[in-house]
Structure 1
């Protein structure tokens, strides 16, 4: 087995994260910040492509990285058509769908394009791993209650599946052998039922399903939302911003930082405590729902994401859920590690490479 020298690219709304790995060892980590006054000059997300590419190349040069040593480039997957979990080689169909934004426009759509441009210069392959549109829902999970709307899977599969693999290894098994409930708790919160390696049910964390989170309102009474839509108080974009980006903890407490909320609670703020307990309550209810999806056959409840660093929140959730299964904590997102691991599995012939097609 030779060395896999990997460049990892993870574009976000205001940052582009870079990492270099030799096999599973990270040897470089950089985060490029993009000031809003610079990004505001670009009309569309794809107008940022050359700007971000030049900064990546500049950062690699500054760190004396020998690009000729790279064996592959890996990018965060964006809003292409729904796919099953796995590692996909970047092809023209994927690039086209990402540019169109068939499932929505987001900075992550740039990832495959950035990887492809760099890979072509070096004549090496490029990939995405477990993109945000991974959809493995069971047929019954797609029903919403009206044929006008179908439930979709849009959550945090990259980190969730990576955490599942880590825990399964720690428990002496494989991810494909296990049943997990995994809650990713960050700016958005997704709670998923993982059945033998597939996410068979999950709340659509991006589009307003499930628990409220630091910045999202979560699932709301539908007729009340209709009332807001036709109240005349909000334009469409204003209401979207109220519910996604400025909902949840931000709406109730003016912050999206769990550490600040914990500090308020420790200082005796009873309102902050009740709001935080309410968020934990809703997360716990979603975990309970996923326990029924798995029919009680649960190898573990795994809590991950930035909020999993917060012992106070973990304590609230544990009070509700520890009777269901053992709760294990994997704080943070570990996206760069997960991207590298996916390609390493393919390049080491531990997992089959998948093909994206329209």
Structure 2
């Protein structure tokens, strides 16, 4: 009997738009970036208060495409606002809805609307399944990766887990192997930059992209020596420092722009400041790839590059020049987020994977001794 082509609707909320895609099996029926009025969004006090407005805007688009929610087998939302949890596909439950509504992880981000919208549409479709797949707070760090030299202070992880894991799954398949049997260093290179070590299906190490860790990025400062940060705080606020980690660091602070394409063009045209910042970012990416290769004890099946900046051939060539002695470097420009969300749901619907239960208990709270 042929395997059923499950229809899956995926929902990925962003700051002023929501990416929505409909998949029939592995085939994308359509995807659309549903724009939301910035003026309307500004009227809401918090992220979760935007939910009815975003829902209605998305429903208008689905109606224009002739999509009947009852024809959809499952709904997947981006899993923002959750506490650290292992990777996988999670059924949306009441604990998850409460945490996504409140932003239990302390980071207010539109992605926390994902579980809420998926649940709302699933109920409207007659009680269909609703899922999240490899949420942003996916945490599979090994114990050694968590340690610092300060008692009670631990390394935490925020990564582009969804795209990182999907890139690794796809590359393993291209080798005729399973993700669970491979070791990869996987990067997402965009507005934020994730560099991660994947050891046989577990993302055992990586940088905290919202915590001032890893390479600098267009909007993020990356790792800064603690003493220099203390000196910075003598004339700035802690709020200023937090903003450098997520919004105002990197190219924004150094060059006054977050446009990586503009920076690369200016660098190529001879702008010394842009060339220094561009080259330093690539240098730091390569240095972090080397760290992750050491985590995997040098047994690396591939170095995989994803994200928007990977469309830049010069960036890919520079990373190959510095890192290909470790393992083959393969570029996957752009992202697979919608495809990854649909694939996670299909694996559960087809019985290839058991859905996980979100308990709301963080995967790590500290060591006992």
Moved over 6 A (4+): none
Deviations 1:175-222 (A, max 9, x none): 000000001111110100000000000010121110000110011111
Structure 2, unaligned runs of 5 or more: 361-369
Give the aligned partner of residue 261 of structure 2.
259
Alignment equivalent of 2:352, drawn from 333, 336, 350? 350
> Which structure 2 residues correspond to residues 207-222 of structure 1 after superposition, within 5 A?
207-222=211-226
* In the alignment, structure 1 residue 201 sits paired with structure 2 residue 216: no
Alignment equivalent of 1:112, drawn from 92, 115, 124? 115
8 Å CA contact 2:12, 2:114 repeated in 1: yes
Give the aligned partner of residue 251 of structure 2.
249
Give the aligned partner of residue 141 of structure 1.
145
> Which structure 2 residues correspond to residues 170-189 of structure 1 after superposition, within 5 A?
170-189=174-193
Distance 1:311 1:255 in 2: 21
Give the aligned partner of residue 43 of structure 1.
45
Distance 2:180 2:44 in 1: 43
Give the secondary structure class of the aligned counterpart of 2:83: coil
In the TM superposition, what is the alpha-carbon distance from 1:295 to its structure 2 partner?
A: 0.3
Distance 1:199 1:22 in 2: 29
User: What TM-score comes out, normalization by structure 1 length?
Assistant: 0.96
Give the secondary structure class of the aligned counterpart of 2:148: strand
How many residue pairs match? The answer is 356
> Which structure 2 residues correspond to residues 88-107 of structure 1 after superposition, within 5 A?
88-104=90-106, 105-107=108-110
In the TM superposition, what is the alpha-carbon distance from 1:243 to its structure 2 partner?
A: 4.0
Distance 2:92 2:43 in 1: 28
Structure 1, unaligned runs of 5 or more: none
Give the aligned partner of residue 296 of structure 1.
298
In the TM superposition, what is the alpha-carbon distance from 1:118 to its structure 2 partner?
A: 1.2
> Which structure 2 residues correspond to residues 217-228 of structure 1 after superposition, within 5 A?
217-228=221-232
Give the secondary structure class of the aligned counterpart of 1:149: coil
